[in-house]
Copies of this chain bind each other. A is one copy, B any other.
Amino acid sequence: MSAPPFIADVEVPEAQPVARFRILYADTDKMGIAYHAAFLRYMELGRVELLRSLGVPYTDLERFGLALPLSDLAVRYRVPARYDDEISIYVGLVLVTRVRVHFQYRFVIEPGGRPDVDERLILLVAETRHACVRVADAKPERMPPPFFERLEQARDRLRERR
């Protein structure tokens, strides 16, 4: 019996990773591999660096009193990560509306990122969905036009790169 995947695959540009990191002891568990929850902070690292590279840093949104808390999260773990693996994070924007943003992620070991690994290894794919809210009262709020527009353009540019 094969369980249907929560997410089949992700649409993420492969041009270049938004961030790289190495698995720490802090990330591992007694199975000797990275604990599944460890990747969530690296997803945050990925999306914050994507936004920064797109010219719409998250701190800009904060200046408007806004935030992008998660409403949904899905992860498909494929290959376990090991201590000291060098991992590349690729992030894509798959939905941008006035009040919502959806990110997709692919975590990859590039050839050489683990000793003896000479082919690209996809560790996991994921999606996070975010609602734009006012920090003060957690009510939904439309993103400010410049932020939203730059995000939309970025989504279009990312699409073209695919």
Interface residues of A (CB under 8 A from B): 1, 3, 5-7, 22, 24-26, 28-33, 35-37, 40-41, 44-45, 48, 57-59, 62, 67, 69-77, 80, 83-84, 95, 97, 100, 102, 127, 129, 135, 138
Chain B nearest Cβ from A142, distance in angstroms = 13
Q: Chain B CB within 10 Å — which of A48, A69, A72 has the most?
A: A72
Q: Is the interface of A mostly helix, strand, loop or mixed?
A: mixed
- Contact yes or no, B25 A73, CB < 8 A: no
Assuming the contacts A37-B26, A45-B24, A83-B59, asked whether A3 and B73 have C-beta atoms less than 8 A apart, the reply is no
In the bound complex, how far is the Cα of B75 from the Cα of A77, in angstroms?
Answer: 14
CA distance A48 to B26 in the complex (A): 12
The answer to whether A48 touches B24 (Cβ under 8 A) is yes
CB contact under 8 A between A25 and B5, given known A37-B37, A69-B31, A69-B33:
no
Do A84 and B58 form a contact, CB below 8 Å, given A32-B30, A41-B37? yes
